[in-house]
Amino acid sequence: MEKVKCMFVKSAHNLKCSLLLIITISFAMSCKQKVDKKASTDTIEKPNFIFILVDDLGKEWFPSYGATEIETPNIDALVNTSIKFNNVYSMPQCTPSRVALITGQYPYNNGWVNHYDVPRWGHGANFDADKNPSFAKALHQEGYKTCIAGKWQINDFRIEPNAMQKAGFDEFCMWTGYESGNKPSDKRYWNPYIFTKEGSKTYEGKFGPDVFSDFVIDFMNTNKNNPFCIYYPMVLTHSPFVHTPLEPEAKTKYEKHLAMVLYTDYIIGKILDNLETSGLADNTYLVLTTDNGTSPSIIGKRNGAYVRGGKAYLTENGINSPFIVKTPDNKHFETDVLVDFTDMLPTFLDLADAKKESDFKLDGHSFAKVLTEGSSKGERDYILSMGGLPGHINKEGWLVNAIQYRDRVLRDEKYKVYVDTLQQIGRLYDIESDPYETNNLIENADLRDVVSGFKTKIDALPKLDNNPKYTKTKGLPTDVKLEFLNKAVERLKHRENNMMGLATEEQFLKLSTKTD
C-alpha cells in the first residue's frame, strides 16, 4: 500500500512537473510569437517612399492643373486618388532644386545656389555627402533599402565611383551626365550611357527611360519585405528633344516634346500598375513633381493662357511645380498648404518615425500631418525660391557663387515679393488674382504692411549666401576652361529681369505648327 501511495505521489509530482513544463514552453512560445509579431509589425509599419522628379516640366503640361494641349491619362488617374498641392516651390533650375531636395536646406545654406554640371565642368567640385545632409542617408540609417535611378549630375562617377553609396543609396542606375572628353556619355535617351555597380557603358538599342524605370520596378519587387525609399529623378523631359518608342514619327521640336511628355505619363502608369499588382500600394507614399519649369523654347496652354516655359526664372511658371502625393490610404483632396523642396527630408523622416539629422541645420518643415491627418494647415507662413545659372571657379580653384546674395522670391498664400541682390523688395504681386504676375503692386500704399511683413522675414535670413561645402576631388585634363564659366557669370550679373512673361497665340501657333 505504501508502495502504491509512493507511486501515486511520484506520478502526481511528475504530472505537476510536466504541466509546469508545458505551461512554461507555451508561455515562452507565446512571448516569442508576440516579439516576432511586434518585429514584423514594426517592419510593416515603416512606410515605403517613391519620389518621382520629372525634369523640366511646368504645370502647363499637366491637365489636372489646367493644361489643354496634352492628355496624360495615367497622371490624371493618379491625381484622382491623391492629394493635389497648388503651392509648392522648387528652385528655378536643376542643381539648386535637387540639392535643396536632397539636403532639406535652401541654396543660401547648402551653398549650391548656382547650377553646376559637375561631370561636364569639373575642377574638383562635387556634392560631398560627408559635409551635407541627405534624405537617403538618413533613411538608410533607419534600416531602409534605398535606390536611385536617372539623373544626378553633381558628382563625376569617373572620379567618385562610390558617390551614390556615400549619399545613402544601396542600388543605383544613373545616366552619368555628359562627362567632359567622353562623347558617348552625352546620350541619356537612345543608346544611353549608364553607370551602375558594374561600371559605365552604352546600352545599345535601348531607350534610357525604359532602362531606368525597369530598374525601379525590379527594385520594388525585390524589396517587398523591407521598407524602401526610391528616388527617381527622370531624364525626361529635358532636351535634347527626341522621338520615343510610342511616337517614333515625331519630327519637330514641338512634336518631340509632346512625345516625351506622353512617355513620361506612360512610365508613371507602369510604376503605378506595379505598385498595385505587387501589393505595395497600401504601405507606400508616392510623390510626383518636377524640378523646375519647362524649357523657355516650348509654349503650352493652361487655363486659356499661352504659357512659355519658365525654366531658370522666378515667375510661377518656373518654380510653382505640380506636386501630387498618393498616400497609403488614398486620401483625395486639393490643398493650398505652402510647401517647398526643403520640406521633403523632414517629411520623410516624420513619416518614417526616424531621427532628425541633428548634425545639420535643416530649413525645411514637415508637412506629414497634411498626408496623415488631412490637415488644411501647414507649418509655414512663406516659401522661398532662388538660384540657377552657372557658378564659377575662383582663383584658389574652388566653386563659388557668382553673386554673394542671390536675388530670390518669397510668397505666402496670397502675395509674392521679389528680392534683389541688395536685399530690397522691388516687386509685389497678388498671386491669387494675378497668377501670371502682370500687375506690380509695390507702389500700392494699402499694401505697405504686407511689404513690411515680408521685409521682416528677409531681414532674418543670412546676409551672405554660403558657397558649396566639399572636399575637392582631382580635376581632369578635360575640365571646362575657366573663361567659359567667367563669361556665363558676367551674363548672369547683367540679367536685369528674372521673370518670364506669357506668350502670345501667334507665338504658340508658330511653334506648334512648324514643320521640319
Q: Tens of pLDDT along 247-257?
A: 999 999 999 99
Is residue 64 in some structural domain? yes
Buried b (16+ CB within 10 A) or exposed e, 319-338: bbbbbbbbbbeebeeebebb
Helix (H, G, I), strand (E, B) or coil at 341: helix
Statement to judge: residues 300 and 239 lie in one domain: yes
**Predicted pLDDT at 8:** 39
Residues 179, 183, 184, 187, CA torsion sign:
positive
Statement to judge: residues 132 and 237 lie in one domain: yes
Alpha carbon distances (Å) from 218 to 77, 202, 205, 213? 23, 20, 20, 9
Q: How far apart are CA 113 and CA 101, in angstroms?
A: 13
Q: What is the mean pLDDT of residues 302-321?
A: 97
Q: How far apart are CA 357 and CA 139, in angstroms?
A: 10
Of 417, 324, 427, 411, give the one whose Cα is nearest residue 74. Answer: 324
Statement to judge: residues 258 and 401 lie in one domain: no
**Residue 199's CB: how many other CB atoms inside 10 A?**
9
Whether pLDDT at 287 is above 80: yes
**Residue 288's CB: how many other CB atoms inside 10 A?**
25
Whether pLDDT at 156 is above 90: yes
C-alpha cell read off for 433: 488674382
Whether pLDDT at 45 is above 90: no
Q: Tens of pLDDT along 417-454?
A: 999 999 999 999 999 999 999 999 999 999 999 999 99
Reported as a pLDDT band with limits 50, 70 and 90, residue 492 is confident
- Pick 475 or 193 by higher pLDDT: 193
- Pick 19 or 372 by higher pLDDT: 372
Statement to judge: residues 301 and 409 lie in one domain: no
Reported as a pLDDT band with limits 50, 70 and 90, residue 77 is very high
Is residue 156 in some structural domain? yes
In total, how many domains does the chain have? 2
Is residue 18 in some structural domain? no
DSSP string, 141-159: TTT-EEEEEEE--SS-TTT
| CATH number assigned to the domain comprising residue 442 | 3.30.1120
Element (H, E) at 172: strand 171-175
CB of 102 closer than 8 Å to CB of 356: no
Whether pLDDT at 220 is above 60: yes
Statement to judge: residues 270 and 366 lie in one domain: yes
Statement to judge: residues 192 and 141 lie in one domain: yes
Q: What is the mean pLDDT of residues 180-208?
A: 98
Domain that holds residue 167: 47-381+500-512
Statement to judge: residues 420 and 346 lie in one domain: no
Is residue 478 in some structural domain? no
Statement to judge: residues 96 and 216 lie in one domain: yes
Is residue 293 in some structural domain? yes
Whether pLDDT at 457 is above 70: yes
Q: Tens of pLDDT along 343-371?
A: 999 999 999 998 765 678 899 999 999 99
* Residue 199, beta-bridge partner list: 196
Whether pLDDT at 41 is above 60: no
Q: What is the mean pLDDT of the chain?
A: 92
**Predicted pLDDT at 357:** 58
Q: What is the mean pLDDT of residues 56-79?
A: 98
Statement to judge: residues 215 and 247 lie in one domain: yes
Whether pLDDT at 29 is above 70: no
Is residue 97 in some structural domain? yes
The contacts found for 421-425 with CB under 8 angstroms, 24 or more apart, are: 423/458, 423/459, 423/463, 425/451, 425/454, 425/455, 425/458
Q: How far apart are CA 161 and CA 67, in angstroms?
A: 41
Statement to judge: residues 208 and 312 lie in one domain: yes
Statement to judge: residues 364 and 410 lie in one domain: no
In the sheet with 228-233, reading across from the earlier edge strand, the strands are 199-202, 193-196, 171-175, 145-151, 228-233, 48-54, 284-290, 323-326, 83-89, 333-340
**Predicted pLDDT at 70:** 97
| CATH number assigned to the domain comprising residue 306 | 3.40.720.10
**Residue 172's CB: how many other CB atoms inside 10 A?**
23
**Predicted pLDDT at 221:** 97
Statement to judge: residues 62 and 122 lie in one domain: yes
Is residue 485 in some structural domain? no
Is residue 2 in some structural domain? no
Whether pLDDT at 405 is above 70: yes
**Predicted pLDDT at 490:** 82
pTM: 0.91
